[in-house]
Amino acid sequence: MLLEDRVVVVSGVGPGLGRALAVRCAHAGADVVLAARTAARLDEVAEEVTDLGRRAVAVPTDITDDDSAARLVESTMDAFGRVDALVNNAFAIPPIADLLDVNLDKVRKGFETNVLAALRLTRLFTPGLEAAGGSVVMINSAVLRHSRRTFGAYKMAKSSLLALAQSLATELGPKGVRVNSVAPGYIWADTLKAYFGYLAKQRGVDPEQVYEETAATIDLRRLPEPEEIADAVVFLASALARAVTGQCLDVNGGEYHH
């Protein structure tokens, strides 16, 4: 019960990592505010949270819109009167193309969701987080650790998010608010499973072979699951990490060492 009776806001709630974040926070004793554009997804996850005996508030939110983001804060404070942790999980896939060719308008759009929206939510929630001595966790990516072709725009966005988190840690530290990041690598959830299925079909092999070949490049010889990423977030949001701020915790099974 690392987050017992605390209030955690999770953005970007969907069927994969967003759901796992909300459910694992509830397992740890937190009440959860769920934010995403798709109301149906929020309702499904809210039911899982309440089945665990915790309270859930679903708030359809466009985090790139000032008014919508402000309503998320108002809904949180109206429902619970406090906020202890903000998990910036919302993500939009940047264009996957070489930087010499990439569409700059699409790069800018990616920054809106992946970086500026995280700053917007953090600023709006800062008064509540300061009052509670709370924390912020940014969901980053192992793209920080490589420079493969076509991932340039993706790495630009996530590197900016890391810089944002570190700078906010310096600014908010004197207010008693911690800011950290979690950088997952592969996440064994529906999206990746579908992609591996596609690769397997292209090659005429079983999807398990694609999994095994990928896992062979990772120290633990397996791909992390959403709940394992979420547990790292629970740790950083909890009092166990009360002296940890400005840090990035890689959760990748040993794919990269940092």
Q: What sections of 204-246 are H helices per DSSP? A: 207-215, 226-237
- With H, G, I as helix, E, B as strand and everything else as coil, classify residue 5: coil
Return the closest-CA partner of residue 141 out of 208, 89, 188: 89
Active-site residue flag, 154: yes
Per residue in 208-242, pLDDT (tens digit) is 999 999 999 999 999 999 999 999 999 999 999 99
Per residue in 5-23, pLDDT (tens digit) is 999 999 999 989 999 999 9
Is pTM beyond 0.85? Reply is: yes
Q: How far is CA 20 from CA 14, 216, 227, 228, in A?
A: 9, 25, 5, 9
Any residues with CB less than 8 A from the CB of 72 and at least 6 apart, and which? 9, 33, 35, 59, 61, 63, 121, 124
Q: For all residues of the chain together, what is the average pLDDT?
A: 97
Q: How far is CA 69 from CA 35, 114, 209, in A?
A: 9, 14, 43
Q: How far is CA 206 from CA 29, 36, 44, 197, 202, in A?
A: 40, 35, 32, 8, 10
CB count within 10 Å of CB 40 equals 9
**Sheet arrangement for strand 248-251:** 56-60, 31-36, 7-11, 85-88, 135-139, 178-184, 248-251
Return the closest-CA partner of residue 150 out of 78, 72, 95: 95
pLDDT for the residue 40: 87
Stretch among 36-40, 63-67, 123-127, 157-161 having the lowest mean pLDDT: 36-40
Per residue in 43-94, pLDDT (tens digit) is 999 999 999 999 999 999 999 999 999 999 999 999 999 999 999 999 999 9
Which one of the listed residues 154, 186, 198, 256 is annotated catalytic? 154
pLDDT of 249 over the 90 cut = yes
Q: Would you say the C-alpha torsion 13, 117, 31, 180 has a positive or negative sign?
A: positive
Is 3.40.50.720 the CATH number for 7-187+225-251?
yes
**Token representation of residue 166:** 């570190």
**In this prediction, what percent of the chain has a pLDDT beyond 90?**
97
Cα 126 versus chain centre, distance = 18
CATH 3.40.50.720 domain locations along the chain: 7-187+225-251
Radius of gyration, CA atoms only, the chain: 18
Round to whole Å and give the CA distance between 227 and 126.
27
